[in-house]
Structure 1
Amino acid sequence: MFKTKITEMLGIKHPIIGGTMMWISDADFVAAISNAGGLGVLASAIYQTREEFAAAIERVKALTDKPFAVNINLFPSMRPIDNNDYVDVLVEQGVKIVETSGHSAPVELCGRFKQAGMTWIHKCVGVRYAKKVEAMGADAVTVVGYENGGATGALDIGTLVLVPRVVEALGLPVIGGGGVSDGRGLLAMLALGAQGVIIGTRLLATKECPIHDNLKQALLAAGETDTMLVMRSIGATHRVWANEAAKKCAEIEAAGGGLEEVLSIVAGARAKAMFNQGKLDEGIISCGQGVGMVHDLPSVAELFERMIDQAARMHGAIKPA
């Protein structure tokens, strides 16, 4: 077992945070991650109304008595969201941990987090962004390197450089990610000074993940070269699985297509058809280079125990020369 500042701060067994994934990080999956000893993070942007969002939080609480978090999404979307409404729900539901992610720091919201006594984690991709939210009162910062699936930012800094740079620049606990798929990656993040790891791609290939088996099997067959960057032209760079939809998005961007044209390819309705019906080229799915190290479909609990065991065995095997 690895006890760190993050496990102590969040009250979790393992220093493993489940990356927030749109249309995937629902109540049941979040509860499975938390029950396995990690921190599940509910994607608030999945839910269309305050009532649906509140019901999702209530379901998480019904399925687990372990800590969980809720993500507030600050990225552009086809359906504008007033996040103040969603923070109202967090307060009403007594949510203890909130994660923010997006283009900018949540200047208008952070005071509300602190007033409600929430532990606030901000996810970003560079030292200057991390230092800004530290000054705003964040309790921890998550940084993910260029290998990461999902939002990568525009700095294109690899995990091995980004994580220690942020650790040495901040006085806050750092959660590191980008390419972490097993215990080797977990141990590497801790060696770089992180107090926990965030994983997303590896969780896609688990029994509890709510995506179609066709997609899980396709990800098992994918290699580390089967990802690509899209949405850079609209300032929302994401690393995704290189399927036909992703390639079409890249073509539109290369031809100078605008925001609406790009969003029509990456729209949530198309992603949901992919996730629910197994239509592999219908939409896009965030996917990191670590997919090349994904070879089976364990339960989330089995995955976490395997990661911890492998990290512990490797740590014990490392001897000074």
Structure 2
Amino acid sequence: MTSFENRFTRMFGIEHPIVQGGMQWVGRAELVSAVANAGALGFITALTQPTPEALAQEIRRCRDMTDRPFGVNLTTLPTINPPPYAEYRDALISERIRIVETAGNRPTEHLESFRAAGVKVIHKCTSVRHALSAERLGVDAISIDGFECAGHPGEDDIPGLILIPAATRKLSIPVIASGGFADGRGLVAALALGAEGINMGTRFLCTQEAPVHEAVKARIVEADERATDLIFRTLRNTSRVQRNAVSTEVVEKEKQGASFEQIRDLVSGQRGRKVYETGDLDYGIWSVGMVQGLIHDVPTVRELVERIMSEARQIVANRLPGLLATSAHPVTAAAE
């Protein structure tokens, strides 16, 4: 059987080169443990938990559900009233977490503590220049997010087909491809582009174990790749979300020159959380990627991971070798 073992799987102690990255309000123990038990790498989202103490409890809850490796996502962003990032960091270290996904700002202030505790860091970013900066800081791997992704794709608008090989050509540490991945075809493509695995958010959001309302999953299944909106474009803080009544209103207000203060209530994170909890799909904005156009069912996490790996093996074993077969009637150059 074709093996997909590589630097990344060996470094993080996982069976398959598949990652479930941090997702606000979604990265909870029931999903993360299911990903770990399926042989992939899942991340609890630290700031989904209201306090560092609650994060510690969620880590323990996840450990009750799996004995395999999992990590914690710590996203740091510039805000007027930032959460106590250092306390969240210390909580995950105290709970003996050995893998962290950082995102948002450069993880400079946290790396010394992580190194001292033996924590491996995957930094998520949206450009080659930021990836190179993180590599110089000493992170262990990069998750590079193409323009197709859910959430924040950066401001360069570079799709994965360009961004992934551009990053892997310049980086020496493992690179995980993120944005637009949902199946075995995507995994093989990412490996061909130089990545050593894939990071999926929207695809894991649409699984049975994802702790969100079934109406959210049904919308992803029925939507196509065109049904997303880019909000905050005028604020240089672009975010890709599911198209709904609120996102449409935000886009229109931005076209009219609205400031953030004028749309703040519409884009409240608490409103997005209510969407996941109640299934009221037009109550707030919620992140989803263009890859929803490739999602047509709601499997268990194990079924999804096994399907992706089976598809990837079939492509490598059956389809690709045929492209190298010698033709019985090779094409010859036209006579001069």
Amino acid at match of 1:173: P
Instruction: Provide the residue aligned with 2:194 in structure 1.
Output: 193
Helix, strand or coil: the match of 1:206?
A: coil
Query: Which residues in structure 2 correspond to 1:43-122 (within 5 Å)?
Result: 43-76=45-78, 80-102=82-104, 104-122=105-123
RMSD of aligned C-alpha atoms? 1.4
Rounded to whole Å, the distance in 1 between the matches of 2:263 and 2:115 is: 36
Amino acid at match of 1:172: I
Q: CA deviation at 1:264?
A: 2.0
Q: Answer yes or no: is the 8 Å Cα contact 1:29–1:209 preserved in 2.
A: yes
Q: Answer yes or no: is the 8 Å Cα contact 2:21–2:73 preserved in 1.
A: no
Unaligned runs of 5+ in 2: 326-336
Query: Which residues in structure 2 correspond to 1:261-272 (within 5 Å)?
Result: 261-272=262-273
Matched, 1:297 2:298: yes
Instruction: Provide the residue aligned with 1:162 in structure 2.
Output: 163
Q: Answer yes or no: is the 8 Å Cα contact 2:46–2:72 preserved in 1.
A: yes
Helix, strand or coil: the match of 1:318?
A: helix
Rounded to whole Å, the distance in 2 between the matches of 1:259 and 1:78 is: 13
Q: Answer yes or no: is the 8 Å Cα contact 1:177–1:189 preserved in 2.
A: no
Amino acid at match of 2:212: I
Matched, 1:255 2:256: yes
Query: Which residues in structure 2 correspond to 1:20-59 (within 5 Å)?
Result: 20-59=22-61
Rounded to whole Å, the distance in 2 between the matches of 1:58 and 1:261 is: 41
Q: CA deviation at 1:284?
A: 1.5
> What number of residue pairs does the alignment pair up?
320
The C-alpha deviation readout for 1:270-318, integer Å capped at 9, x for no partner, is 1121111110101122111111010011101000000000011011120
Q: Answer yes or no: is the 8 Å Cα contact 2:153–2:238 preserved in 1.
A: yes
CA separation of 1:136 and 1:188: change in aligned 2, threshold 3 A: same
Rounded to whole Å, the distance in 2 between the matches of 1:28 and 1:289 is: 25
Q: Answer yes or no: is the 8 Å Cα contact 1:23–1:268 preserved in 2.
A: no
The TM-score normalised by the length of structure 1 is 0.96
Helix, strand or coil: the match of 1:156?
A: coil
Instruction: Provide the residue aligned with 2:288 in structure 1.
Output: 287
Rounded to whole Å, the distance in 1 between the matches of 2:11 and 2:32 is: 19
Amino acid at match of 2:149: N
Deviates more, 1:30-39 or 1:180-189: 30-39
CA separation of 1:122 and 1:299: change in aligned 2, threshold 3 A: same
Instruction: Provide the residue aligned with 2:124 in structure 1.
Output: 123
Q: Answer yes or no: is the 8 Å Cα contact 2:21–2:201 preserved in 1.
A: yes
Helix, strand or coil: the match of 1:202?
A: helix
Amino acid at match of 1:165: A
Q: Tell me the percent identity.
A: 39
Amino acid at match of 1:29: L
Instruction: Provide the residue aligned with 1:212 in structure 2.
Output: 213
The C-alpha deviation readout for 1:228-268, integer Å capped at 9, x for no partner, is 21123333211111111111222232233333443322222
Q: CA deviation at 1:77?
A: 5.6
Helix, strand or coil: the match of 1:25?
A: coil
Deviates more, 1:274-283 or 1:69-78: 69-78
The C-alpha deviation readout for 1:180-200, integer Å capped at 9, x for no partner, is 111000110011110110011
Amino acid at match of 1:68: F
Rounded to whole Å, the distance in 2 between the matches of 1:77 and 1:64 is: 35
Q: Answer yes or no: is the 8 Å Cα contact 1:78–1:263 preserved in 2.
A: no
Amino acid at match of 1:69: G
Q: Answer yes or no: is the 8 Å Cα contact 1:78–1:267 preserved in 2.
A: no
Rounded to whole Å, the distance in 2 between the matches of 1:28 and 1:47 is: 14
Deviates more, 1:128-137 or 1:75-84: 75-84
Helix, strand or coil: the match of 1:168?
A: helix
CA separation of 1:218 and 1:78: change in aligned 2, threshold 3 A: farther
Q: Answer yes or no: is the 8 Å Cα contact 1:149–1:240 preserved in 2.
A: yes
Q: Answer yes or no: is the 8 Å Cα contact 2:21–2:101 preserved in 1.
A: no
CA separation of 1:129 and 1:63: change in aligned 2, threshold 3 A: same
Unaligned runs of 5+ in 1: none
The TM-score normalised by the length of structure 2 is 0.92
CA separation of 1:260 and 1:78: change in aligned 2, threshold 3 A: farther
Q: CA deviation at 1:23?
A: 0.5
Amino acid at match of 1:46: T
Amino acid at match of 1:33: V
Q: Answer yes or no: is the 8 Å Cα contact 1:30–1:42 preserved in 2.
A: yes
Q: CA deviation at 1:29?
A: 1.2
Q: CA deviation at 1:79?
A: 5.8
Amino acid at match of 2:197: G
Amino acid at match of 2:69: P
The higher radius of gyration belongs to 2
